[in-house]
Amino acid sequence: MRDNYRVRTDLALETTERFAQGHVEIRGVEIQEDYNEEKDIRTTVVWIRTENGAKAMGKPQGHYITIEAPNLSIPDEDYHREVSEEVAKHLRHLIDLETEKSILVVGLGNQAITADSLGPHVVENLHITRHVIREYGLKGMGEEKMHQTSGIVPGVMAQTGMETSEIVEGVVSETKPDVVIAIDALAARSVKRLNRTIQITDTGIHPGSGVGNHRIGLTEENLRVKVIGIGVPTVVDAATIVHDSMAHLLDALDEAEQKEFLEEMISPHLHSMFVTPKDVDETVKYLSFTISEGLNLAFLQR
Amino acid sequence: MRDNYRVRTDLALETTERFAQGHVEIRGVEIQEDYNEEKDIRTTVVWIRTENGAKAMGKPQGHYITIEAPNLSIPDEDYHREVSEEVAKHLRHLIDLETEKSILVVGLGNQAITADSLGPHVVENLHITRHVIREYGLKGMGEEKMHQTSGIVPGVMAQTGMETSEIVEGVVSETKPDVVIAIDALAARSVKRLNRTIQITDTGIHPGSGVGNHRIGLTEENLRVKVIGIGVPTVVDAATIVHDSMAHLLDALDEAEQKEFLEEMISPHLHSMFVTPKDVDETVKYLSFTISEGLNLAFLQR
Amino acid sequence: MRDNYRVRTDLALETTERFAQGHVEIRGVEIQEDYNEEKDIRTTVVWIRTENGAKAMGKPQGHYITIEAPNLSIPDEDYHREVSEEVAKHLRHLIDLETEKSILVVGLGNQAITADSLGPHVVENLHITRHVIREYGLKGMGEEKMHQTSGIVPGVMAQTGMETSEIVEGVVSETKPDVVIAIDALAARSVKRLNRTIQITDTGIHPGSGVGNHRIGLTEENLRVKVIGIGVPTVVDAATIVHDSMAHLLDALDEAEQKEFLEEMISPHLHSMFVTPKDVDETVKYLSFTISEGLNLAFLQR
Amino acid sequence: MRDNYRVRTDLALETTERFAQGHVEIRGVEIQEDYNEEKDIRTTVVWIRTENGAKAMGKPQGHYITIEAPNLSIPDEDYHREVSEEVAKHLRHLIDLETEKSILVVGLGNQAITADSLGPHVVENLHITRHVIREYGLKGMGEEKMHQTSGIVPGVMAQTGMETSEIVEGVVSETKPDVVIAIDALAARSVKRLNRTIQITDTGIHPGSGVGNHRIGLTEENLRVKVIGIGVPTVVDAATIVHDSMAHLLDALDEAEQKEFLEEMISPHLHSMFVTPKDVDETVKYLSFTISEGLNLAFLQR
């Protein structure tokens, strides 16, 4: 199928489901699932171990932790705290808090588009400590153990004229953080997953991902520093929705026929469109708070 | 077909096309089209003259002027001015500038959702004169002829706890404008029409219309003052896109079978989702400027 | 002294201090002070009982509760909660929760000027329930006792062309709340009080008060419903600062000489200027959260 | 006088006035004034030629162009264009358009504080071309001659934890522009100059300048690329206003006595306060538009 017509998802979990339907095990990919019934939080770790696994999944090697919490978009402060703690727990696994003491949080996305504004909102809610610790030491914060956190909202290429990666590379090379955490709004395949799923990965942000389809990724390879990506699916590609709905209808056709048919049917307009829920403003507000609290819990040792 | 599954459009022009496909004339509805080749602006006036016409169209009696300008979403200042002038021209027909001297512009929609923020943006760009003229007279503005313009952004029910119509009714009964102009982001049926069409109507805003699906309209009936609605389609209902794409596939079935099939296929999730272009932020910025300039041209006599 | 050169304060507490310096008791005015040492919160209730007291104070008859909390502008969540509870406690005294069940919160001020944006921010953080309770009853909220809260941000005259009072009167007459609570950023006389003082009064909002100097007040008299004003001083008039600094220097002169001198010295430009702290953005964010939590505590019975 | 109590101004023009009062010529400083009566625009070029001149002025060697336009804050589109053209004219002198083809515009200041938001607003209004020209060449823009413009809003240290200069240095070393133009809101000494003066300088941005008092400047020395600073005074330090008003009173005292007296009188609180006009939101909106149009005129060759 031409690249344009590939069903797109930024969630590794959704990619595994494609295989799971046929109950096929994917070589080089380990999947571990954990369900906390009381809290109604399901955590799935997809570990792509080999080059082969990466090819099969269409995603780079590494860990993809998915936290699914159906009530995540509902305004319940206590629930959020549990998800925040879950986020903090996984960050503490991925980051060596003893040796990696300075963290740069990058809020990707377009502040002016509600569905793409998750990253900027997270940075806005963060407790920023780097300048205080550098000026006054840890005593300045009244804490013995605390990370140096800094944050930046690089904007999008149409506003800056620069690749996001250029800006972040520059800031990283000047301020030399031990770890970069990039926050982004993602595209899912299924509307059911919108705004109730948080993905954490140690593979960073890859080209073609995110609501705005980054052209160049943010990875350890280009930033020369560990990069963790945290994302929440807030949109579905419009073409995907039509594709999925029609695919069922076309079960009778073979794959080549299906492909030809869908390429004709799906308007090229649809590929620059996205689908998003009507209450996206409230949800992005709550989600960004939950994630920034997760970061604050992980790094401020309160 | 159940109401949920009806194909939704706020554009009278799109409703007529449903009939036009069968080359059927609709009784009680007059359609007049005008194309300015040089400017590439097409203006269609749909006049619903009778109760029967209103039933057939599913829209109240009155005039629906549609200005289609394919390049409307492209940032070209000169082009915009021509569309602004087209908007001003139609407003001058719908409003008697000699006797109707005070105008309240209502910016409907949710400022926090990009695709629904057209109305608030238009009010932000308006030249507001009422308070100056009331305080200092027309001399205060250095103009001989000028309308009293006022503007309000009433917000949405989830933020205010009140129907928009309650707020506007209250403001109208206190400030007694001669005309209300309500600006709203609309839902279209076709993605091709998004952000390149402006609809002006003397029927006001009706229940169920707009991106946010107003529960109660803003009409002369409930505001007791002339109400003009100006709207631009910025979204398509997600269910509509799937519906339309699949309908072609189902041509073989009769209407009852189609209905049953689609009801099953279209996920109920989709009905709280909308489809919008990725560059919606830039476009809403330009569109709101074009419309507010249209209003400024019409009322400030500059 | 001409009205222009009067030292301006919206805080009744500061007006009493003028007298207090001479240890004069003001007839018709009762003052009661309470200091919670542990929480470092000082609460002063100024009760203007008579027409004479009102004249002496230059403020209408009624109660003025001032909560002073020096650490209010520092981001400490626990501290804030105590101030929120203090706000809630006083609201429960001023409002009869058994009979006055619907509350309209009005966020006064200019969203576009940081120092004047307290009111809009408070409304943004409020839990709004009116539309849910009216649609589904109290069961819809999962609560037995809960107030109907609604909120509006009316904007400022330069943006709307309408007096704020016109807008609020209209909304009140349509939606008929039992009580209006108007939130506003205030002008203080002393820079020491900025951002660490909350004033609650049952006299509403009066002409000439607030950062934007309302031309017409929001009072029980013009809204025909109980009006409570809640304000935080975020600015000092620039002329006041110069006036105060110089007054000390002029102690040798008699009052008439002082007056003449100051009128000459203080640039008329200064009267359209205000003084505000450089960290006003952080502070308004925290203060608005504290106040909206106070309202949520008072009305949502959580 | 201790540094705290020095009268602060970011305008070279105001520094010269200190000397001018005594009709003293300053060695190593050349001043040239030009008044366009028709347009009511006064342009003053202060050229600090020598190290001695720099010491006397307390500002680094270089050119300081001040455009004073009394009506600048009044919304008159035609007037603005003339000021925009004046800005463009001076930029074309300071930049060699034939060889310096790529421009990075840095919007300094705090978006959340109205009086400090000039820089971010200017970047928002800029036509950004770098990404298009790099992708499609000049043909992509439909122009033969056009500069590569890029823009960034680096935020302030309290939000990012990083020095602004660290961020800009990083971005400059990655994207290698020929020239950096930094836009900032300035502090003036006189309220009369607020919002009606534009200063353009080839010395960049210096430590201690701007509303937020940058700790480290943006200069050719630290960025290794030509840096032009464009600023508009939007605030006066609160201490300065009091200082100036009182200084007149103290004429009788000698300088040492004055100093001692003022140090005692001026509240230390005042040094973290600023004075700004009440209509600062409207003005910043118009000013940012005028400046960004000046940049667009200079670089887009339209």
**Which of A290, A188, A279 has the alpha carbon at shortest distance from A237?**
A188
Name the band, by pLDDT with cuts 50, 70 and 90, for residue D208: confident
B136 touching C (Cβ < 8 Å): no
Lookup result for tokens 């949109």: A235
CA dihedral D131, D136, D141, D142 (to 10 degrees): 170
List the chains bordering chain C where 3 or more Cβ pairs fall under 8 Å. B, D
Q: Which residues of D touch C278 (CB under 8 A)?
A: 113, 211-212, 272-274
Element holding C74 (H helix, E strand) = none
pLDDT per residue as tens digits for the range B106-146: 999 999 999 999 999 999 999 999 999 999 887 766 666 78
List the chains bordering chain B where 3 or more Cβ pairs fall under 8 Å. A, C
Closest chain A residue to B190, measured at CA: A269
Q: What is the mean pLDDT of residues D20-42?
A: 84
Shortest Cα distance from C170 to chain D (angstroms)? 27
3-state secondary structure of B52: helix
**Among A236, A242, A276, whose Cβ lies nearest the Cβ of B245?**
A242
Q: Do C191 and D278 touch (CB under 8 A)?
A: no
Looking at the predicted structure, is the pLDDT value of residue D183 above 50?
A: yes
Q: Do A161 and D149 touch (CB under 8 A)?
A: yes
Name the band, by pLDDT with cuts 50, 70 and 90, for residue A301: low
Q: Do D157 and A131 touch (CB under 8 A)?
A: yes
pLDDT for residue B1: 32
More confident residue, D71 or B275: B275
A34 touching B (Cβ < 8 Å): no
User: Has domain A2-300 been given CATH number 3.30.70.2860?
Assistant: no
Cite the beta strand spans of A119-202 per DSSP E: 148-152, 179-188, 197-201
Cite the beta strand spans of chain B per DSSP E: 29-36, 41-48, 62-68, 102-107, 148-152, 179-188, 197-201, 226-237, 273-277
Asked if C183 and C122 touch (Cβ cutoff 8 Å), the reply is yes
Name the band, by pLDDT with cuts 50, 70 and 90, for residue B258: confident
**HEC readout, chain D:** CCHHHCCCCCCHHHHHHHHHCCCCCCCCEEEEEEEECCCCEEEEEEEECCHHHHHHHCCCCEEEEEEECHHHHCCCHHHHHHHHHHHHHHHHHHCCCCCCCEEEEEECCCCCCHHHCHHHHHHHHCCCCHHHHHHHCHHHHCCCCCCEEEEECCCCHHHHCCCHHHHHHHHHHHHCCCEEEEEEEEEECCHHHCCCEEEEECCCECCCCCCCCCCCCECHHHHCCEEEEEEEEEEEEHHHHHHHHHHHHCCCCCHHHHHHHHHHHCCHHHHHEEEEECCHHHHHHHHHHHHHHHHHHHHHCC
Instruction: Give the DSSP letter string of A8-62.
Output: --S-HHHHHHHHHTTTPPPTTEEEEEEEETTTTEEEEEEEE-SHHHHHHHTS-SE
pLDDT along chain C (302 residues), means of 10: 57 82 75 93 95 92 95 70 93 94 97 96 94 85 80 96 97 98 94 92 92 92 96 91 75 75 74 88 90 91 55
pLDDT for residue C34: 95
Q: What is the mean pLDDT of residues A289-297?
A: 92
Q: Calculate the CA A1 to chain-centre distance.
A: 26
Closest chain C residue to B163, measured at CA: C131
Q: Which residues of C touch D211 (CB under 8 A)?
A: 278
C178 touching B (Cβ < 8 Å): no
Alpha-carbon distance of C116 to C132, in angstroms, equals 30
D266: Cβ–Cβ under 8 A, 6 or more apart, which residues?
C245, D5, D239, D242, D243
Q: What is the mean pLDDT of residues D200-225?
A: 93
Q: Do A128 and D155 touch (CB under 8 A)?
A: no
pLDDT per residue as tens digits for the range C39-95: 899 999 999 999 999 999 989 999 999 999 988 877 665 657 899 999 999 999 999
Q: Which residues of D touch C282 (CB under 8 A)?
A: 158
Alpha-carbon radius of gyration of chain D: 20
Mean pLDDT value across chain D: 88
What would you measure as the largest C-alpha separation in chain B, in angstroms? Answer: 70
D148 touching A (Cβ < 8 Å): yes
Looking at the predicted structure, is the pLDDT value of residue A5 above 50?
A: no
Shortest Cα distance from C299 to chain D (angstroms)? 30
Closest chain B residue to C122, measured at CA: B159
pLDDT per residue as tens digits for the range D38-59: 989 999 999 999 999 999 998 9
For C:199-228, CB contacts with D below 8 A are 211-212
Residue type, C275: V
Name the band, by pLDDT with cuts 50, 70 and 90, for residue B157: very high
Alpha-carbon distance of A250 to A247, in angstroms, equals 5
Beta bridge partners of C29: C48
Alpha-carbon distance of B157 to B154, in angstroms, equals 9
Q: Do B131 and C162 touch (CB under 8 A)?
A: yes
**Among D129, D148, D161, whose Cβ lies nearest the Cβ of A129?**
D161
pLDDT for residue D227: 98
Looking at the predicted structure, is the pLDDT value of residue D271 above 80?
A: no
pLDDT per residue as tens digits for the range A82-119: 999 999 999 999 999 999 999 999 999 999 999 999 99
Alpha-carbon distance of B295 to A189, in angstroms, equals 42
SS3 content of chain C, % helix, strand, coil (to 5): 45, 25, 35
Alpha-carbon distance of C69 to C16, in angstroms, equals 19
pLDDT per residue as tens digits for the range A8-60: 789 999 888 877 554 567 889 999 999 999 989 999 999 999 999 999 998 99
B152 touching C (Cβ < 8 Å): yes
Alpha-carbon distance of D139 to D238, in angstroms, equals 52
Compute the C-alpha angle D38/C269/C233, nearest 5°. Answer: 140
Q: Do A275 and B278 touch (CB under 8 A)?
A: no
Shortest Cα distance from A229 to chain D (angstroms)? 19
Shortest Cα distance from C190 to chain B (angstroms)? 33
Q: Which residues of C touch D276 (CB under 8 A)?
A: 273-274, 276
Residues in chain C: 302
**Among B150, B152, B160, whose Cβ lies nearest the Cβ of C128?**
B160
Shortest Cα distance from A224 to chain B (angstroms)? 31
pLDDT for residue A300: 84
List the chains bordering chain A where 3 or more Cβ pairs fall under 8 Å. B, D
Alpha-carbon distance of D210 to D115, in angstroms, equals 11
- Whole-prediction pTM: 0.92
Q: Which residues of D touch A169 (CB under 8 A)?
A: 170, 174
Asked if B230 and B206 touch (Cβ cutoff 8 Å), the reply is no
Q: What is the mean pLDDT of residues D245-259?
A: 73
Closest chain D residue to A133, measured at CA: D161
Alpha-carbon distance of A148 to A8, in angstroms, equals 36
User: Which of A259-268, B90-99, B166-175 is least confident?
Assistant: A259-268
The top-scoring range by mean pLDDT among B203-212, C248-257, D106-115, D129-138 is D106-115
**Among D113, D245, D278, whose Cβ lies nearest the Cβ of C274?**
D278
Beta bridge partners of A105: A151, A181
pLDDT for residue D5: 46
C4 touching B (Cβ < 8 Å): no
Q: Which residues of A touch D166 (CB under 8 A)?
A: 171, 174-175
Q: What is the mean pLDDT of residues B29-58?
A: 93
Looking at the predicted structure, is the pLDDT value of residue D230 above 90?
A: yes
pLDDT for residue C72: 84
Q: Do B167 and C174 touch (CB under 8 A)?
A: yes
Closest chain B residue to A261, measured at CA: B249
Handedness of CA A65, A70, A73, A78 (dihedral sign): negative
pLDDT for residue D24: 63
Number of inter-chain CB pairs under 8 A, B vs C: 96
Number of inter-chain CB pairs under 8 A, A vs D: 96
**Among B241, B280, B282, whose Cβ lies nearest the Cβ of A241?**
B241
B151 touching C (Cβ < 8 Å): yes
Q: What is the mean pLDDT of residues B42-69?
A: 94
More confident residue, B228 or D247: B228
Q: Do C282 and D192 touch (CB under 8 A)?
A: no
Q: Calculate the CA D30 to chain-centre distance.
A: 20
3-state secondary structure of C68: strand
Alpha-carbon distance of A146 to D18, in angstroms, equals 48
CA dihedral A51, A56, A59, A61 (to 10 degrees): -30
C106 touching B (Cβ < 8 Å): no
Q: Do A169 and D174 touch (CB under 8 A)?
A: yes
Q: Which residues of B touch A276 (CB under 8 A)?
A: 273-274, 276
Q: Do A166 and D153 touch (CB under 8 A)?
A: no
A149 touching D (Cβ < 8 Å): yes
Q: Which residues of B touch A236 (CB under 8 A)?
A: 273
Q: Do D249 and C249 touch (CB under 8 A)?
A: yes
Q: Do D150 and A170 touch (CB under 8 A)?
A: no
Looking at the predicted structure, is the pLDDT value of residue B262 above 60?
A: yes
Q: Which residues of B touch C154 (CB under 8 A)?
A: 152
C272 touching B (Cβ < 8 Å): no
Closest chain D residue to C109, measured at CA: D278
D151 touching A (Cβ < 8 Å): yes
Name the residue ranges covered by the structural domains of chain B: 2-300
Instruction: Give the DSSP letter string of A193-234.
Output: GTTSEEEEETT-B-TT-TTTT-SS-B-HHHHSSEEEEEEEEE
B232 touching A (Cβ < 8 Å): no
pLDDT per residue as tens digits for the range B193-218: 998 999 999 999 998 898 988 889 99
Name the band, by pLDDT with cuts 50, 70 and 90, for residue D235: very high
pLDDT for residue C4: 41
pLDDT for residue A77: 60
